[in-house]
Structure formats: structure tokens, C-alpha cells
Amino acid sequence: MNDFSYVEKLLDGVEVVWFPISEVTERTTNIKWRETSESHQYIDLTSVSVDTKKIIETTEVKASNAPSRAQKLVKKDDVLFATTRPTQMRYCLIDEEYDGAVASTGYCVLRVKRDVTLPKWILHLISSSDFKKYLEENQSGSAYPAISDAKVKDFSIPIPCPDNPEKSLAIQAEIVRVLDAFTAMTAELTAELTAELNMRKKQYNYYRDQLLSFEEGEVEWKTLEEVAHFANGKGHEKDISEDGKFIVVNSKFISTDGLVAKYSDSQICPLFKDDILLVMSDLPNGKALSKTFIVDEDERYTLNQRIGGITVKDKSEILPKFLHYYLDRTPQLLKHDNGVDQTNLRKGQILEVKVPILPLQKQEHIVSILDKFDKLTKSLSEGLPREIELRQKQYEYYRDLLLSFPKQNAEVSA
């Protein structure tokens, strides 16, 4: 890595001194709402981009609807860190001017002394594994853990050659540049893979709709009740086991194509190869309602409540895989979602769905085409988080490598 070699040379023989964050940051001021009539932009770290650590949106707050507690005024280049549930590592850099912005309660504001360190130097250091370990050791409270601002600022960070501010800031800037490049590369790759995945999903949905659309009189139609048996699942809340033998098929399992799963040692509601499973309950405008999953082997799954189990009566009439594709997000069931209330499909609504009866050869042809699209889409879906994780680990490796300095000097004041 050329950049890393350059930074190694840059650091060769340089003295590094460790300072508590409090010694390299300035004091911030609070706003007392009862003493002002101005409105302010309110920043909450729930509105921060996960990839870029930048503010996505703010809300306007006035004294009349403001919290009772005083809040911190923030400026451009401030680093914010969430002190409630700190090990979730919610933090960001204020990258632009917000007129009279304030940080919501529960955030530590780190405003660097610009002649000593850079805002992004702090930003990368508080993302480190050492800082997370420090948080774990110094947070208090079990149900709702938190850490004080003072404790956050007690964390020591390295400053190269502090007696030569110009050189120190130049070294920091080069290391920040390398780490920013990794961050940008990860964000760019994520965007590219996500765009590819979305395109493949649209392509798959288009061809599925084309292949499963039939003109009036082109095929015979039967109700689902005529061609399949139906059974509802049962609750497994008391039987969940991390090392369980059976996968509990719930809406999360189906909506993530099996990537998120819970397990049980009890097969309360057994499932068998070629059973079709359908999500019966979802939030308004949710993406799980009527999503289906087809069982690929016996003695592996157990059916949770609010998931419908559908078993084809006669496989010489309709193929389970064909029915799986046809029922998946069918408009005949999505019409029951009014976009306001949670949808809970009833057994009768599911069994009245009309399905096309085609020659088996035609069904097999359609299944073959959709299998190929499904395989490609799932491959991208599974590869995306793996690739992102790989890039994140690469960033963390170089971050820890570039920001790891021996603590040979006692901590001093800046």
C-alpha cells in the first residue's frame, strides 16, 4: 500500500505524546431555552448516515416546544458522540454550518483546539476498537447504559510531535486522508453493489410479472383452497434456543430470504419439503406481507404463528415451486393492506386467491427461468453484506495500524 508506506516514512522518528481528549478540545456552551426566543436547528444522531457519519436532516426547535434541559450549541467541525448506549458507536462530524444548531440531550460535543489536532483525527480515533473497549469498561447502568462527558474526555489519544504544531497537523492530515480514502471507497462500493442489486430485483420482478400474467380464457383458474391445504403456525417464544436444531420460520426469516433466523429445539409445527410458507401479518406498506418461502428439506424447520403453511394437494396438477413464485407478494393479497393499519391476513382471504392451472411443462419452464433470476438476486443480496464487512475490516485494520502508537510518554497537558 503506497499511502501506508508514505505515512510510515512520515512517522519515522517522530515523538508521540498522549493527551486526554479534554486537553485537546475546547469547552462548549449550553443554551438555556427559557432565556431565548430564537429557534434552533436540533441535531439527533438517529438522523446520521451510517456510511458517511454526516447529518441527514435536522428539525427546528423553539423555546415553546424545547426540552426542559439545557442543550449544547454546536458549530461546524464539532464531533458529536452519543453517550447513551455508547458501545453502539453513534457519532458524526458536523460538516457544514447549521444556524444556531443544538445537540440533543445525551451527546458529548468535542470541539478540537485547531492548533493541536484535527476534527477528523478525533473522529477516526473514537471509532477505534481501543475506544470501544474503553467505553465498555467505563459505562454505567445495565438496562440503559451511559457514559459521562467527562469520562469520554478522559480517553487518551496520540498527538505526533506536539512541540511542532505545523508538522503535527501535517502528519495527522496525511493519516486522515488515507483513512478517508478507505471510508469513501467502502461507501462507493456499497452504492455500486446496492444499485446492481436493486436493478436485478427490478429485472426479476418484471420478468416474473410477465411470466405469471395470463389473459382471460388463456388458462384454467382455481382457488387456492381447491389445490392446496392450509395451516397456521404456532408461537415459539418460549422455545427459542440459540443452539436449537430447528429453524423457526417467522416473518423476519422469510423477509430476509433466510439470512436472519431464530432456532428452537422443539419442532412444534413440523414442515416438510415443498411446503410453501407465506407471511400473514405486516406493518402498513411493509415489504413482508405475502412474501413466500419454500421448504427445501424435511426435519429442518418449524412454523411460527402468523405464517401460513401451504401444501399442494396434487403435484401432478400444480408444482409447489410454481405456486411459491405465483403467491409471492401477489396483488390478490396485497390489496388487503390499506397503508394505515397493520395487515393481518385471514385464512379465508388466503384460500380465496385464484391460481392459474398450466400444463406441467409450461410450469417447469417458468420455474426454470425464475430460479435463475432468484439465484442471481440472492447471490448479490448475500454478497453485499459480506463485501461491506470485508471493506470495513480492511478500514479497521489500517485505522488501528496507523493510529497505534506506543505509550512511552506520560500524559501531559496541551
Residue ranges covered by each domain of the chain = 14-160, 220-357
Type of residue numbered 137: E
Mean pLDDT confidence for 137-163? 91
11: exposed, middle or buried (Cβ count in 10 Å: 0-12, 13-18, 19+): middle
**98-102, 218-222, 271-275, 284-288: segment of lowest average pLDDT:** 98-102
Specify the higher pLDDT residue, 229 or 48.
229
Same fold, 14-160 and 220-357: yes
Distance CA 322, CA 208 (A): 11
> 6, 78, 84, 86: which is closest to 43 by C-alpha?
78
pLDDT at 405: 73
Tell me the backbone φ, ψ of residue 214, rounded to 5 degrees.
-135, 140
Mean pLDDT confidence for 388-392? 75
Mean pLDDT confidence for 271-298? 93
- Going by pLDDT thresholds of 50, 70 and 90, the confidence category of residue 110 is very high
Say if residue 49's pLDDT is above 60. no
**Listed ranges 37-46, 138-147, 163-172; the one with the highest mean pLDDT:** 163-172
Say if residue 24's pLDDT is above 90. yes
Mean pLDDT confidence for 342-367? 94
Distance CA 320, CA 295 (A): 10
> 26, 9, 20, 16: which is closest to 168 by C-alpha?
16
pLDDT at 350: 96
Distance CA 132, CA 24 (A): 20
Cα angle: 155, vertex 160, 163; to 5 degrees: 110
Specify the higher pLDDT residue, 209 or 66.
209
Say if residue 293's pLDDT is above 90. yes
Q: What are the grid coordinates assigned to 95, written together?
A: 460538516
Distance CA 27, CA 72 (A): 10
Write the DSSP assignment of 160-187 as a string of letters.
ESTTSHHHHHHHHHHHHHHHHHHHHHHH
Say if residue 174's pLDDT is above 50. yes
Say if residue 210's pLDDT is above 60. yes
pTM for the complete prediction?
0.62
pLDDT at 409: 47
Distance CA 16, CA 79 (A): 23
Distance CA 13, CA 161 (A): 10
Indicate if the alpha-carbon torsion angle 16, 17, 18, 19 is positive or negative: negative
Percent of the chain exceeding pLDDT 70 equals 84
Q: What is 14-160's CATH superfamily?
A: DNA methylase specificity domains (3.90.220.20)
pLDDT at 3: 54
* 7, 74, 122, 337 from 130: Cα distances, Å: 21, 26, 13, 48
Say if residue 296's pLDDT is above 60. yes
Strand 59-61 with 354-357, pairing: unpaired
Torsion of CA 404, 405, 409, 410, to 10 degrees: -10
Long-range contacts of 142-146 (CB under 8 A, 24+ apart): 144/84, 144/85, 145/84, 145/85, 145/86, 145/87, 146/83, 146/84, 146/85, 146/86, 146/106
Strand 102-103 with 40-43, pairing: parallel
Say if residue 161's pLDDT is above 70. yes
Say if residue 410's pLDDT is above 50. no
- Going by pLDDT thresholds of 50, 70 and 90, the confidence category of residue 16 is confident
pLDDT, tens only, 122-140: 999 998 888 999 999 999 9
Percent of the chain exceeding pLDDT 90 equals 41
Centre a 10 Å sphere on the Cβ of residue 216 and count the other Cβ atoms it contains.
6
Specify the higher pLDDT residue, 335 or 409.
335
Indicate if the alpha-carbon torsion angle 275, 249, 283, 341 is positive or negative: positive
Say if residue 62's pLDDT is above 70. no
Q: What is the mean pLDDT of the chain?
A: 83
Q: What is 220-357's CATH superfamily?
A: DNA methylase specificity domains (3.90.220.20)
pLDDT at 216: 76
Strand 343-344 with 156-160, pairing: unpaired
pLDDT at 156: 94
pLDDT at 351: 96
pLDDT at 168: 93
pLDDT at 377: 76
Say if residue 95's pLDDT is above 90. no
Distance CA 185, CA 282 (A): 36
